[in-house]
Amino acid sequence: MIEILYGARLFDGHRFLDDRALIHDGRTILDIAAVADRPFGPAALDLGGGTLAPGLVDVQINGGGGVLFNDTPTPEAIRTIGEAHRRHGTTSFLPTVITDRPEILDAALAAARACVGVVPGCLGIHVEGPFIDPRRAGAHPPDLIRRMTPADADLLVAARAGVMLVTLAPASVDNATVARLAAAGVIVSLGHSEASDAEARAAFEAGASAVTHLFNAMSQLGHRAPGLVGAGLTEAGVICGLIADGHHVADAALKIAIAAKGPAGIALISDAMPPAAGGPDEFQLGDRRACRRNGRLELDDGTLAGADITLLDAVRYVRGLGVPLETALQMATTTPLNLLGLDGKPAQLAVGSPANMIHLDRDLGLTRVWTASSPGA
């Protein structure tokens, strides 16, 4: 059914467009025309102000709506997590499996393969560990962290369906393997790492192209030892994921990162856990208990255990710091797609793009979500 949307500013993924009407058929954006030239009739909907923007793209969702992907690595879990976050404006996502037993990783890879092109919005999978640095384990179980073997690399390459993003640390993966993964189409991101600036840059040279949750669980920026933070902030073409929830990264550090990289270099992420998008206050992370306390998700020892936000919460948070709305939205739409090496269509309002869209009122309240009827779009 054709629908004509007008009366809101259009954010196309890069900039605002005024006095525009968007025409779609539920699957594809058919046209973007001047409001005066729009078709008339019962299919026309006046949005009454606010912003019409692409659906949000989250490359790091561990869970939501009470479900943890590691705990239930099944297609049904991916569907439930996707539906929970879609109600909050995320229309494209990567279910994320963190460090766990080999059989959990195998099941998660199989579930993601089954969901690409079937579950709306599921673009593939993010494998965050176990090939990380135990010195920067964060909430990952240290006893399950290990070096990547050639057989592990074979498994990842063979299992790739849609997008595969792998977070790893130079301490656990040599650069020849980084190059092999990148050549096979795997997006390699550095994270949970004590890498020096030189080690990080060598991995980028080998084919790594991103940094996972900048500042968190990694070597920090020092004036003589820039660490992974310094390498990520200054390496051209590297996109850094960033958790904007007021707990993971100080406001000043958020502003510094955005100023250094610009909206094309920072991808907002949720790092969401089961309490996000309507889940309970407490959940199990392996054999450890995690709880929501004052907006933070913590293990019993106080270690942060993911985040209790959706991607729209992150957009609102950085907007509250004075970041322009177009910058905040670009970091949650076009930039994440670029991180994944996609052409950006699922996160753009453009003729021929999937009709994945959200409408925000002037206070950034979500009023409606459109999801392209084409599965996986």
Q: Identify whether residues 93 and 203 lie together within a single domain.
A: yes
Q: Identify whether residues 184 and 61 lie together within a single domain.
A: yes
Q: Identify whether residues 78 and 139 lie together within a single domain.
A: yes
Q: Enumerate residues 6+ apart whose C-beta is below 8 A from 129.
A: 98, 99, 100, 140, 144, 145, 167, 192
pLDDT of the residue at 377: 35
> What average pLDDT score do residues 252-277 get?
98
Express each pLDDT in 109-163 by its tens digit.
Answer: 999 999 999 999 999 999 999 999 999 999 999 999 999 999 999 999 999 999 9
Tell me whether residue 271 is one of the annotated catalytic residues. Answer: yes
Q: Identify whether residues 167 and 246 lie together within a single domain.
A: yes
Does residue 374 surpass a pLDDT of 80? no
Rounded distance between C-alpha atoms, residue 153 and residue 363, angstroms: 46
Q: Enumerate residues 6+ apart whose C-beta is below 8 A from 31.
A: 22, 23, 351
Q: Identify whether residues 222 and 316 lie together within a single domain.
A: yes
Tally of domains in the chain: 2
Q: Could you give the C-alpha distances from 367 to 18, 29, 51, 53, 105, in angstroms and in order? A: 19, 19, 10, 12, 37
Q: Does 127 reside within a domain? A: yes
Q: Does 375 reside within a domain? A: no
Does residue 363 surpass a pLDDT of 60? yes
Candidate list 152, 245, 271, 313, residue with the active-site label:
271
Does residue 89 surpass a pLDDT of 80? yes
Q: Using pLDDT thresholds of 50, 70 and 90, give the confidence band for residue 373.
A: low
Q: Identify whether residues 70 and 151 lie together within a single domain.
A: yes
Domain holding 95, by residue range, is 55-347
Domain holding 178: CATH number? 3.20.20.140
Q: Identify whether residues 104 and 212 lie together within a single domain.
A: yes
Q: Identify whether residues 343 and 354 lie together within a single domain.
A: no
Q: Does 353 reside within a domain? A: yes
